[in-house]
Structure 1
Amino acid sequence: MALRASRWDWLNADVSWAAFDPIAYIDHNYLYLQAGDAEILSLIRDHFSGHCPRDRGRSIAGIDVGAGANLYPALAMLPWCDEIALFERSPANVRYLKSQVKSYADNWDQFWRVLCKNEAYGALDMDPRARFRGVVHVEEGNLFDLMLHQGRWSMGTMFFVAESMTSSREEFDLGVECFLRALAPGAPFAAAFMEHSHGYQTGDHSFPACDVGMFEVELSLKRFADDVKTERIESQTRVRDGYFAMIVAYGRRNSDGDIPQSDRDR
């Protein structure tokens, strides 16, 4: 789908994603576990543990869309998946992710400990690094190309991507749609968004953001998802200036791809 930029839009294709600095991003956001991320982790671990089968009779493929330099969404899917694709566009982020597959850095242990407060994670029958190494692979690609792979994955995450790759509301909505259409009917998912973000900086480079709040997030999800819950995550310590709060949304991909259950029942 071709998008037309207004004079105020900074579209995804306009951004130099090769300039993204994953090390600076990690140092600022994920070197230490922040309260907001701990709260998000608690919500999504309990969501996944309540919606993923404990008696595994089939292979489960997961995807983290726009993984960037953040491993905790993949860690949240780790007990459930036989394979996890870290889907990423930025060449610098792809290199970082590939460097983590064999043995991820120590800073991610604090995120895993939060997940392990749920027995489904704590009961994992092998070292999480070995599990990560065995099931995770990095796949370079553009989010919008996921339209070519509809229904391919049985579980999915997308954290701080759709609103942090463009200033266009139309492109934001399309990004959410591409993510959810890539999931099979019934697939549990979790997504996170920066609320009313004004853009952000990584290293020496600035990147765009789309100004969205709870209403826009819920509207973008409702055509493609059932049982959606949205939570506003506020923390006394913000990771940066220029946003109001974080929003986490979780639910299941609906069965027909367009009409939420509440509307189908009318």
Structure 2
Amino acid sequence: MASSATALKTRRRGSGPTADTVAPPRNDQVDWNLFNPRIYHAHNYRTLRDDDRQLVTHVRDFFGSVRIAPTAKGLDIGPGANLYPSLSMLPFCGQVELVEYSAANIAWLRRQQLWLRRFDRSWDKFWSLYGEHPAYAPFVRANRPLDAFREKATVSPGSIFELKRARWDVGTMFFVACSLSADRGEFFRGVSRFLEALRPGAPFAAAFMTGSSGYEIKNQTFPAFPVNADIIKHALTRHAPGAEITPIKTDLRPEVGMVLATGFRRR
């Protein structure tokens, strides 16, 4: 994968001598097939961290309070090795589509759908937390998380930049737009493409890592754009001007925070 050390170099324009500067790595400069979902899952989701507990609780309370048709189609863009965003939509949707770019992540997600695979209990605590809300409780009691995932979820290869417009009725995007590139323009374009993929009025939940300039998985470095709450709000303004921005307390990495945005695609 491309890192800041391997990014393309550009030259500054000016009347004086030229100087090499390192351009922020863009999405297409990264080999996302080197992403290791097994290690990522083990590090982040083998247990229920407190920051994820906060995220699940806020998303649960939001989706549990809105009206979603039983035939609704849900979208989770760029899930990687994280199932809890898609789990948040399963009780309310007829189908949830996980659109993922990395071949390694696609293979990992599809392995979760194999009925002969050993049942992964790591999602039970997330599922139980959803079940504490009355809107979720009947479905959660009647289904194990991966059984529901195998029944309703589909995994599709695709890019956030190529999503079809106005196709899905509810959506989630967790740590994607801020972690696919170090380029500001690509962050804003990623947020827009996600929201444009939702039908007008569709509810959504989107999580962002704030202050991150990149991250590493098993000696592979990946880019990020260091957003903050104001930048996130600005990115949402066009398509979801009334979105609620909620800071999430986290100790995941020094000087890195989390923000959750919930709201509705503009009608």
Bin the TM-score by the shorter chain. Answer: 0.7 to 0.9
| Alpha-carbon distance between aligned partners in 2 of 1:114 and 1:50, rounded to the nearest angstrom | 16
TM-score, normalised to structure 2, is 0.87
In the other structure, the counterpart of 1:75 is 87
Aligned pairs for 1:82-93 (under 5 A) are 82-93=94-105
RMSD: 1.7
Which SS does the other structure have where 2:80 is aligned?
coil
**Matches of residues 125-164 of structure 1 in structure 2 within 5 Å?**
126-128=142-144, 129-146=146-163, 149-164=164-179
Q: How many residues align?
A: 244
**1:28·1:239 contact (CA, 8 Å) conserved in 2?**
no
The Cα of 1:240 is off from its aligned counterpart by 3.1
- 1:246 aligned partner, one-letter code: M
Residue number among 11, 14, 22 corresponding to 2:37 in the alignment: 22
Q: Which moved more, 1:104-113 or 1:121-130?
A: 121-130
Per the alignment, residue 261 of structure 1 pairs with none
SS at 1:251's partner residue? strand
Return the letter of the residue paired with 1:44.
V
Question: For residue 207 of structure 2, what is the amino acid of its counterpart?
Answer: A
Query: TM-score, with normalisation over the residues of structure 1?
Result: 0.88
Cα distance in 2, alignment partners of residues 39 and 5 from structure 1: 40
Which structure 1 segments of 5+ residues have no match? Answer: 256-266
SS of 2:186's equivalent?
A: helix
- Is 1:221 aligned to 2:233, yes or no? no
Deviations 1:26-59 (A, max 9, x none): 1111111100010010001111011134xx4x62
Q: Equivalent residues in 2 for 1:20-59 (5 A)? A: 20-53=35-68, 56=69, 59=71
Q: Is contact 1:29-1:239 (8 Å) kept? A: no
Give the fraction of aligned pairs with identical amino acids, expressed as a percent.
38
User: 2:24 is matched with which residue: 9, 29, 34?
Assistant: 9
- Report runs of 4+ in structure 1 exceeding 4 Å deviation: none
Larger Rg: 2
Residue 111 of structure 2 aligns to a residue whose secondary structure is helix
Q: What is the identity, as a one-letter code, of the residue corresponding to 2:199? A: A
Q: Choose which of 206, 215, 234 in structure 2 pairs with 1:191.
A: 206
Q: Who is 2:74 aligned against?
A: 62
